[in-house]
A = this chain, B = another copy of it.
């Protein structure tokens, strides 16, 4: 049982935030984590902060009472990163949405952590620039930095690892630290930026983020192509990467995912192994790339190469891809989805997907495979009946085998979802003694263990 919050802390927080600090059960329940295969863990209070100063003051207050702090953005993470595993105060940053600066000449901008990626691109639409990282969900920039998110465009533009230039963080003791200045590169000391990117809020609260931006490409071409097998689809993308073809997006959906998308979006595509592709560049470059990819696809038995050049058709296509998760979830009414996440060297990808699909063929639940396969990263969405505990048990066995297979192929237990509460044993299996180093760093920066406790390691 978690002890109640100390009255002194509650008084301090109310003096600071007024109504924006609440212990209301309904609000706490809304901040308890995404569910999926992990149970929700509500915090004891939620603080809706509006500034770095408020974050720092609240962190100092929690620190003085040894109360845990859980940073919260849009709540879209998938391994219960925001669950309050040891109670404490949820720091909701969704009210911090200011665009602090856009430096068009330097192709960068600085935003408050609570801004979502779509809101940012909305702000940027008159500049000719955009922020490419696209994890699917409309996550906050701070949350995306914290989980080292990536997504559909990473194959071309990189993920958060590559696109965060610097951060302003509030440390576990309530100090405000800027991790880097705005130069494109620097050799000035330890790489604090990359330390906080992917730390899942366990080392401090990300309050502001400086991001790389890119010019909106002159031309964008999208295409869909069906293949005779998972292996043929995957091999086509791998060959394209190996030939240096600059794919901007390369998304794989298996037959189950396509069937769900067909139903949800009233589409009528072949329900087989399919690639959704995008090419960015000068118009002639886009068509040259598409032609080259077409030839590769043909060589692997790919079917018709369906083009969607105009913005509306393209956007319909990507809407279908982005909502594939929901479409799959809708395909088994009443079921709870669990989205797994592994990433392997691309030379092993086809083999990894084929073996995984063989496992799925024996599983007692329906599932669909989809992924950002240009990076070697894929997900399996398992559709589990919450009333059938044997399905969850089978799903856990399936996931353990998937993670073991990925690690065995010199890959990682998580390409982009992060560790949270769900992948802690997997992390040890993957990095062994490296986890002890992580613990040392955590102990040094957060000696009381108050920042998002229990995440990444026990």
Interface residues of A (CB under 8 A from B): 103-108, 147-150, 154, 159, 161-162, 171, 175-192, 194-195, 197-199, 203, 214-215, 238, 241-244, 282, 285, 288, 341, 343-347, 375-377, 406-407, 410-419, 423, 426-427, 430-438, 440-441, 443-445, 456-457
> Contact at B343–A184, with CB atoms within 8 Å?
yes
> Contact at A375–B185, with CB atoms within 8 Å?
yes
CB-defined contacts of A162 to chain B, threshold 8 Å: 162
> Contacting A195 at CB < 8 Å: which of B190, B214, B414?
B190
CB-defined contacts of A416 to chain B, threshold 8 Å: 185, 187
In this complex, which of A181, A184, A242, A285 has the most chain B Cβ atoms within 10 angstroms of its Cβ? A184
Question: Given the complex of chains A and B, what is the CA–CA distance between A177 and B438 in angstroms?
Answer: 11
> Contacting A183 at CB < 8 Å: which of B171, B199, B376?
B376
CB-defined contacts of A107 to chain B, threshold 8 Å: 241-242
> Contact at B105–A347, with CB atoms within 8 Å?
yes
> Contact at A148–B191, with CB atoms within 8 Å?
yes
Known: A103-B347, A178-B431, A178-B434. A456 touches B184 (CB 8 A): no
Please tell me how many copies of the chain the complex holds.
2
Question: Given the complex of chains A and B, what is the CA–CA distance between A440 and B173 in angstroms?
Answer: 13
> Contact at A184–B376, with CB atoms within 8 Å?
yes
> Contact at B198–A412, with CB atoms within 8 Å?
no
A–B Cβ pairs within 8 angstroms, 13 of them: A105-B242, A149-B187, A150-B185, A177-B433, A178-B434, A183-B343, A183-B376, A183-B415, A186-B343, A189-B419, A195-B195, A214-B244, A437-B445
CB of A81 to closest CB in B, whole Å: 10
> Contact at B159–A419, with CB atoms within 8 Å?
no
CB-defined contacts of A178 to chain B, threshold 8 Å: 431-432, 434
> Contacting A148 at CB < 8 Å: which of B187, B192, B197, B430?
B187
CB-defined contacts of A347 to chain B, threshold 8 Å: 103, 105-106
Question: Given the complex of chains A and B, what is the CA–CA distance between A432 and B195 in angstroms?
Answer: 17
Known: A437-B445, A441-B190. A346 touches B414 (CB 8 A): no
Given A171-B433, A179-B431, A186-B415: 12 more A-B contacts, CB < 8 Å:
A107-B241, A147-B187, A171-B437, A175-B433, A183-B411, A185-B375, A187-B418, A190-B199, A195-B195, A215-B242, A441-B441, A443-B444
CB of A258 to closest CB in B, whole Å: 25
> Contacting A345 at CB < 8 Å: which of B103, B149, B159?
B103
Known: A103-B347, A197-B191, A345-B106. A414 touches B175 (CB 8 A): no
> Contact at A435–B189, with CB atoms within 8 Å?
yes
> Contact at B177–A159, with CB atoms within 8 Å?
no
Known: A105-B346, A445-B437. A198 touches B192 (CB 8 A): no
CB-defined contacts of A182 to chain B, threshold 8 Å: 345, 410-411
> Contact at A188–B419, with CB atoms within 8 Å?
yes
Known: A190-B199, A244-B215. A177 touches B434 (CB 8 A): yes
CB-defined contacts of A413 to chain B, threshold 8 Å: 188
Question: Given the complex of chains A and B, what is the CA–CA distance between A180 and B180 in angstroms?
Answer: 24
> Contact at A189–B427, with CB atoms within 8 Å?
yes
Question: Given the complex of chains A and B, what is the CA–CA distance between A376 and B194 in angstroms?
Answer: 21
> Contacting A194 at CB < 8 Å: which of B175, B186, B191, B440?
B191
> Contact at A414–B181, with CB atoms within 8 Å?
no
CB of A17 to closest CB in B, whole Å: 25
> Contact at A188–B346, with CB atoms within 8 Å?
no
Question: Given the complex of chains A and B, what is the CA–CA distance between A288 and B187 in angstroms?
Answer: 34
> Contact at A188–B445, with CB atoms within 8 Å?
no
* Nearest chain B residue, comparing its CB with the CB of A377: B185
